[in-house]
Structure 1
C-alpha cells in the first residue's frame, strides 16, 4: 500500500497511471526539460490550451514535486517554471516513449496512392500522426474530425 497526498494506491503502477492520467503533464515535463519557461511560453508551445487548464496542470505537477515554480516579487508578475530533481528523472522515460512512437509511426502510418504503393510519412519530434482519420466530418458535430499528435493531442 502506497500513501501519497492523502490517497492510497495498491501499487506503484497504479500511482504512475494516476499521476500521468492525461497527455498534458508529459508534454509540460518534456518542454521543461530543456530550460526554464514562463507561463506564456508554455501556453504558446502547447497551443491551443486554455490558461485555466495549463494553470491546473502546472499546480498538479508542482504538488507532485515534479515541477518547481519560482515567483518574483515584481510588477508585472513574473513566474518561472522548471523541472525539479524528480521531474528530471522522467527524461529517459519520455525519450523511450517517443522512440517507440516514432517506430510505431514509421511502421503503420502511411499514405496510400491509387496504385497501392505506400509512401512512408517522415516522422520527426514535432510531427503530427493521424490516429483516427476515418471520417472527414464528425458524425455528431458538423466539424472536421480531430487529428492527434504523438501525445494524443
Structure 2
C-alpha cells in the first residue's frame, strides 16, 4: 500500500485519492454484493471499457481495497472481492447511493426555471 500525502492536509482528499473518480465508487458498490468475476463487473457496468475497468481494478488492488484471485484454469478465471479495508467503505458508498437517489428524486420534482 502506498503512502498518501495530501496537498491540502484534509482527510477527504486522501479518501478521494483512493476511491474517487467516475468508475471506482461504482466498482466498489457492485463488489459490496460479494466476489465477482471480471466479466460480471463488465456486465454490471456496461458503459466502462475493459481497459478502464482493468486500470481501475489494478489501482484499487494496489491501494489494498480489492483482492484479485487468479485460478489456474483454461481459460483463466479471475475474481475480485473487497478486502476488510475495502469493506469498511460500505457506509460511505451507501451514503453516496442514498444521497444520489434523494438528489435525483428532488431534481425530478423541482419546477424547471423558464428559459431566458
Q: Cα distance, 1:21 vs. partner? A: 3.1
Q: Give matches, 1:54-69, under 5 Å.
A: 54-69=53-68
* Aligned structure 1 segments of 4 or more residues deviating by more than 4 angstroms: none
Checking the alignment, whether the CA contact within 8 Å between 2:42 and 2:50 is kept in structure 1 is: yes
Q: Greater helix percent: which structure?
A: 2
SS of alignment partner, residue 68 of structure 2: strand
Normalising by structure 2, we get a TM-score of 0.84
Q: Cα distance, 1:48 vs. partner? A: 2.0
Between structure 1 and structure 2, the one with the greater Rg is 1
Change (3 A) 1:93 1:79: same
1:88 aligns with 2:87: yes
SS of alignment partner, residue 48 of structure 1: coil
Count the aligned residue pairs: 110
Which residue does the alignment assign to 2:18?
Answer: 19
Which residue does the alignment assign to 1:43?
Answer: 42
SS of alignment partner, residue 8 of structure 1: coil
Checking the alignment, whether the CA contact within 8 Å between 2:4 and 2:14 is kept in structure 1 is: no
- Which structure would you say has the larger RCO, counting Cα contacts within 8 Å and 6 or more residues apart? 2
Which residue does the alignment assign to 1:8?
Answer: 5
Q: Cα distance, 1:5 vs. partner? A: 1.8
Gaps of 5+ in 1: 117-153
Gaps of 5+ in 2: none
Checking the alignment, whether the CA contact within 8 Å between 2:32 and 2:90 is kept in structure 1 is: yes
Q: Cα distance, 1:69 vs. partner? A: 0.5
Distance of 1:22 and 1:7 partners within structure 2: 16
Q: Cα distance, 1:103 vs. partner? A: 1.6
